[in-house]
Amino acid sequence: MPRALPVLDLTEPICCAPVAAGAMGEGQALQVALRLKALADPTRVRLMSMLLATEEVCTCDLAAAVGLTDATVSHHLGQLRKAGLVVGIRRGMNVYYRARPDALGALCRVLDPSCCT
């Protein structure tokens, strides 16, 4: 049985030396890996692209756009939220999500320091 990854607070954008800067410590590598794991799903990549293209979107609209149920989309968005890549705001019965470009940009800079300059 694979070892479960620990639960960490990933709500803040990642801040560590780029991968190419030298050997990365276990804690920093884990923070990078958990964020990448959240993006390692085609549906989540699609959801991120939709959220980055607009200001704010309701879960119900995202579900219709990707052809999945609200519950499935909510699960995917929950994983992205735990990774600190999106933020959700409840309004009545609906939750509206928006991307956190700063968090995605920080992850890009960790992977490639020449990115986003």
Task: For residue 98, tell me if it sits in a domain.
Answer: yes
Which domain covers residue 56, as residue numbers?
24-111
% of the chain residues with pLDDT over 70: 82
Task: For residue 64, tell me if it sits in a domain.
Answer: yes
Total number of domains constituting the chain: 1
- pTM, full prediction: 0.80
Tokens 């991968």 — which residue? 19
pLDDT in tens, 74-114: 999 999 999 999 999 999 999 999 999 988 888 888 887 77
Calculate the CA 82 to chain-centre distance: 7
CATH number of residue 92's parent domain: 1.10.10.10
Q: What is the pLDDT of residue 33?
A: 87
Phi, psi of 73 (to 5 degrees): -65, -40
Q: How far apart are CA 71 and CA 91, in angstroms?
A: 17
Task: For residue 54, tell me if it sits in a domain.
Answer: yes
104 and 85 Cβ atoms separated by less than 8 Å: yes
Task: For residue 81, tell me if it sits in a domain.
Answer: yes
pLDDT in tens, 39-53: 999 999 999 999 999
